[in-house]
């Protein structure tokens, strides 16, 4: 029986190649050595322990912080034919006993537990299970320096001593250097090696918009959503009240959206989450409490209504978009009131200095005038050589001007107001506003009153933020957030030091050119929608989220390649043997019907292109590379060419010995129309592609 990591990746998960570091990590775990893995959301962390779990004897314990996350991952594993289950506080004692019984009888390969459950059973029934590996997911939760500290995680170190002979793997999507070091120390990992995959999610566009009034912001969001009908998205807010307000605003424009926050009735909250996961609800407005347990692969956009408190949280939250690798959008709206509020939160936290510094880095990122992705990756210790071309700065480069006069007007006005006003009042004075407070305070009498009326309120806000960023003024938080002139500001005011500022840009949402992270060919949109509808029907019948059946990337590839045989269907990314067995017939039937009822575009069939390249002397591997398809697709084409009596030497690719192995069982098994019975009958020793080729030989001989 072939039981290598690559074979399992292909036959079980439906992928032909590992991503960065995955194979090295898996081999290290198989060598029973402790490992820390940092991979971005959607980067393939789970594969790093799921494949070893299928190779090891015994049960792999996966520590996961959220019930919804466990449920998603277990359903995905079961859909791929893997024996997996979970035990948590939502289960009855009888249900838990059933799971335990399966684990003790060797009927489980992966068992998901919450940290609380794991600690409560570590000295009871856990000792009766042959544990082969322990995986700690969301490992940043163990560190007080992380962005989502969970006290219960700190007791995980005791497990390392209890299970001293088995390997531990800790995994997270977001952790800075301090947090990485703390994870290893807190868990007590032994000689752990750290693997850091690229944090560059090329498929995510980055767009940041500052000082947009609420009314304009809602209009922008509505237009943004209307341009992306039927696409799933999340809007994150800082407060519960905001989630309800924005959901209501969207509903008033006829958009089906709901809100989610920790203050809701638990049953209602769970209902909203289930609707979103199952594609019955496309848009959710939520606090950051939502999303950590969501494996939904087809979230196409994420909007932040407020500035996040740190870059780790921001990165994790935008990472919930585009997990399938398809192009997805992210937008961050913020204003300086967000900064003031978050500073107050940080001051009240247990690590105020660290939290304030993290907030400062987040603010610097949001207010930068250079490539966003470069700054984001640099925070995680990764260097990007070229500008990304997929952020607002790259797509709309700022224009710099001599802002010395603008700065001097602002600073002069602030001095004449005795440095006792906030930003909005200073702007109103500079613009010559006629509001009652200005008259009551006598501010209309100062020399700079109305001296900045040539600039809009929005522009002045932008200039003030820039002056704060360059250190010409600062906010006195302890004095009602009033502005103060700094020593550098006095140099500008008194000595005429030159200041460069950027011209404020009001950005309207519109489709922008994006880098496409995956090649899904020329997707037939009509067929893609039909495939989505079929997926939704099956998902409801199976009572699982739609993306558990197939993700959007797989459907787009089906709509592009239009596979109408089992062999061709297996070449689709994400299609393993179990999913072919479970869902192949219905999807292939739909594709066949679509092809029969729609006039195909005039083009050379894919297998003929393969044949032509083969006649030029290229190997299957070379053809696959040139055509940017999987090599299993090429072998399928070769089998089809041979069946159609093309001039091809089939024995260059399959031996007569394999053909002779299959002959005696051909008539008994061919009626099932599947390759898996042959694979199992041959003790899983003959690769699937050789079985396909041998069957082609036998079929052609039968015709002759």
pLDDT for 381 equals: 77
Q: Cα–Cα distance between 213 and 229 in angstroms, integer?
A: 25
In what side-by-side order are the strands of the sheet with 84-87? 84-87, 110-113, 59-63, 131-136, 168-172, 35-38, 193-196
Closest CA to 272 of 285, 547, 221, 316: 285
Same domain, 184 and 140: yes
Same domain, 546 and 470: no
Is 342 a member of any domain?
no
Residue 227 tokens read as 């341009």
Report how far apart, in Å, the C-alpha atoms of 489 and of each of 460, 472, 484, 531 are: 17, 4, 9, 61
Same domain, 233 and 175: no
Higher-pLDDT residue of 159, 584:
584
Assign residue 77 the CATH number of its domain: 3.40.50.300
pLDDT for 300 equals: 95
pLDDT for 166 equals: 93
Mean pLDDT of 312-323: 90
Residue 255 pLDDT > 90: yes
Burial of 32 (0-12, 13-18, 19+ CB in 10 A): middle
pLDDT for 293 equals: 54
Report how far apart, in Å, the C-alpha atoms of 99 and of each of 104, 109, 542 are: 9, 12, 20
pLDDT for 610 equals: 93
Residue 90 tokens read as 């939502």
Contact 524, 560 (CB under 8 A): yes
Confidence of residue 295 (pLDDT cuts 50, 70, 90): confident
- N-to-C CA span, the chain: 34
Higher-pLDDT residue of 613, 178:
613
Report how far apart, in Å, the C-alpha atoms of 659 and of each of 181, 223, 567, 655, 698 are: 55, 60, 17, 7, 7
Same domain, 171 and 123: yes
DSSP 501: E
pLDDT for 56 equals: 95
Average per-residue pLDDT for the chain: 87
Characterize the bridge pairing of strands 35-38 and 482-485. Answer: unpaired
Mean pLDDT of 39-64: 91
Confidence of residue 673 (pLDDT cuts 50, 70, 90): low
Same domain, 85 and 135: yes
Residue whose tokens read 């989610």: 260
Same domain, 445 and 539: no
pLDDT for 506 equals: 63
Is 509 a member of any domain?
no
Same domain, 10 and 142: yes
Residue 355 tokens read as 């939290």
Mean pLDDT of 577-595: 93
Same domain, 218 and 186: no
Contact 208, 74 (CB under 8 A): no
Residue 83 pLDDT > 90: yes
Burial of 55 (0-12, 13-18, 19+ CB in 10 A): middle
List pLDDT tens digits, range 589-631.
999 999 888 755 567 888 999 999 999 999 999 999 998 888 8
Residue 464 pLDDT > 60: yes
Assign residue 492 the CATH number of its domain: 1.10.10.10
pTM for this predicted structure: 0.69
Q: Cα–Cα distance between 100 and 210 in angstroms, integer?
A: 53
Is 508 a member of any domain?
no
Choosing from 169, 196, 223, the residue where a domain stops is 196
Higher-pLDDT residue of 166, 509:
166
Is 338 a member of any domain?
no
Residue 519 pLDDT > 90: no
Same domain, 616 and 548: yes
Is 417 a member of any domain?
yes
Contact 207, 391 (CB under 8 A): yes
Mean pLDDT of 136-149: 76
Q: Cα–Cα distance between 19 and 24 in angstroms, integer?
A: 10
Confidence of residue 520 (pLDDT cuts 50, 70, 90): very low
Same domain, 221 and 277: yes
List pLDDT tens digits, range 424-440.
899 999 999 988 899 88
Confidence of residue 23 (pLDDT cuts 50, 70, 90): very high
Confidence of residue 515 (pLDDT cuts 50, 70, 90): very low
Is 517 a member of any domain?
no
| Structural domain that includes position 49 | 5-196
Domain count, the chain: 4
Same domain, 407 and 387: no
Contact 26, 48 (CB under 8 A): yes
Q: Cα–Cα distance between 305 and 319 in angstroms, integer?
A: 16
Same domain, 480 and 541: no
Choosing from 394, 415, 443, the residue where a domain stops is 394
Choosing from 171, 196, 221, the residue where a domain stops is 196
- Ranges 32-36, 351-355, 458-462, 481-485: which has the least confidence: 351-355
DSSP per-residue string spanning 506-568: -PPP--------S---S--HHHHHHHHHHHHHHHHHHTS-HHHH--HHHHHHHHHH---SHHH
Residue whose tokens read 């002959």: 663
- Ranges 231-235, 470-474, 610-614: which has the least confidence: 470-474
List pLDDT tens digits, range 637-658.
999 899 888 888 999 999 999 9
List pLDDT tens digits, range 373-389.
988 888 887 888 888 99
pLDDT for 518 equals: 42
pLDDT for 514 equals: 42
Share of the chain above pLDDT 70, in %: 94
DSSP 391: B
Is 573 a member of any domain?
yes
Confidence of residue 509 (pLDDT cuts 50, 70, 90): very low
Is 435 a member of any domain?
yes
Report how far apart, in Å, the C-alpha atoms of 541 and of each of 297, 342, 574, 579 are: 20, 45, 21, 15
């Amino acid at each position: 029986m072939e039981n290598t990591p690559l074979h399992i990746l292909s036959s079980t998960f439906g992928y032909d190649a590992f991503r960065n570091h995955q194979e090295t990590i898996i081999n290290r775990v198989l060598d029973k050595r402790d490992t820390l893995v940092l991979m971005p959301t959607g980067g393939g962390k789970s594969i790093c322990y799921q494949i070893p779990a299928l190779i090891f004897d015994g049960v792999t314990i996966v520590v996961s912080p959220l019930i919804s996350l466990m449920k998603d991952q277990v359903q995905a594993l079961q859909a791929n034919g893997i024996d997996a289950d979970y035990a948590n506080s939502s289960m009855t004692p009888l249900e838990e006993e059933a799971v335990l019984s399966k684990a003790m009888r060797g009927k489980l390969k992966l068992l998901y537990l919450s940290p609380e459950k794991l600690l409560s059973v570590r000295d009871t029934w856990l000792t009766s299970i042959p544990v082969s590996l322990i995986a700690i997911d969301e490992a940043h939760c163990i560190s007080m320096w992380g962005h989502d500290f969970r006290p219960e995680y700190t007791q995980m170190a005791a497990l390392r001593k209890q299970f001293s002979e088995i390997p531990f793997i800790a995994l997270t999507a977001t952790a800075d250097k301090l947090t990485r070091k703390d994870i290893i120390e807190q868990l007590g990992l032994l000689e752990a090696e750290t693997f850091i995959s690229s944090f560059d999610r090329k498929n995510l566009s980055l767009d940041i918009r500052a000082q947009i009034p609420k009314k304009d912001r809602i209009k922008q969001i509505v237009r943004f959503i209307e341009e992306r009908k039927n696409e799933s998205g999340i809007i994150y807010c800082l407060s519960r009240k905001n989630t309800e307000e924005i959901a209501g605003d969207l509903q008033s424009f006829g958009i089906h959206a709901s809100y989610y926050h920790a203050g809701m009735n638990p049953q209602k909250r769970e209902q909203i989450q289930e609707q979103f996961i199952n594609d019955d609800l496309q848009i959710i407005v939520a606090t950051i409490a939502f999303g950590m347990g969501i494996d939904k692969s087809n979230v196409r956009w994420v909007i932040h209504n407020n500035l996040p408190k740190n870059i780790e949280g921001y990165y994790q939250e935008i990472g919930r978009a585009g997990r399938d690798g398809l192009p997805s959008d992210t937008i961050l709206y913020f204003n300086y009131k967000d900064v003031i509020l978050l500073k107050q939160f940080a001051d009240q936290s247990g690590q105020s200095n660290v939290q304030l510094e993290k907030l400062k880095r987040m603010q610097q990122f949001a207010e930068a005038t250079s490539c966003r992705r470069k700054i984001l990756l640099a925070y995680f210790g990764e260097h990007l050589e070229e500008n990304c071309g997929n952020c607002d700065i790259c797509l709309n480069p700022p224009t710099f001007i001599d802002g010395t006069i603008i700065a001097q007007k602002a600073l002069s006005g602030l001095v004449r107001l005795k440095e006792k006003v906030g930003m909005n009042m200073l702007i109103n004075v500079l613009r010559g506003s006629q509001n009652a407070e200005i008259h009551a305070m006598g501010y209309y009498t100062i020399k700079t009153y109305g001296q900045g009326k040539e600039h809009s309120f929005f522009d002045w806000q932008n200039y003030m933020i820039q002056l704060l960023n360059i250190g010409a003024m600062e906010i006195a938080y302890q004095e009602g957030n009033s502005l103060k002139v700094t020593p550098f500001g006095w140099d500008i005011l008194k000595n005429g030091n030159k200041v460069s500022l950027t011209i404020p840009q009001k950005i309207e949402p519109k489709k922008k050119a994006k880098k496409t992270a995956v090649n899904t060919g020329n997707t037939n949109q009509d067929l893609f929608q039909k495939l989505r509808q079929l997926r939704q029907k099956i998902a409801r019948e199976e009572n699982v989220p739609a993306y558990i059946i197939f993700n959007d990337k797989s459907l787009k590839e089906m709509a592009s390649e239009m596979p109408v045989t089992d062999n061709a269907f297996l070449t689709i990314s994400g299609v393993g043997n179990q999913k072919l067995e479970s869902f192949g017939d219905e999807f292939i039937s739909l594709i066949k019907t679509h092809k029969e009822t729609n006039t195909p575009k005039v083009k050379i069939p894919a297998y003929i292109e393969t044949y032509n390249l083969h006649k030029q002397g290229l190997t299957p591997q070379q053809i696959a590379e040139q055509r940017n398809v999987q090599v299993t697709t090429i072998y399928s084409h070769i089998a089809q060419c041979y069946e159609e009596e093309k001039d091809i030497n089939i024995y260059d690719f399959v031996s007569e010995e394999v053909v002779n192995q299959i002959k005696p069982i051909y008539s008994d098994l061919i009626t099932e129309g599947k390759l898996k019975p042959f694979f199992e009958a041959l003790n899983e020793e003959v690769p699937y592609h050789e079985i396909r080729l041998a069957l082609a030989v036998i079929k052609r001989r039968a015709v002759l």
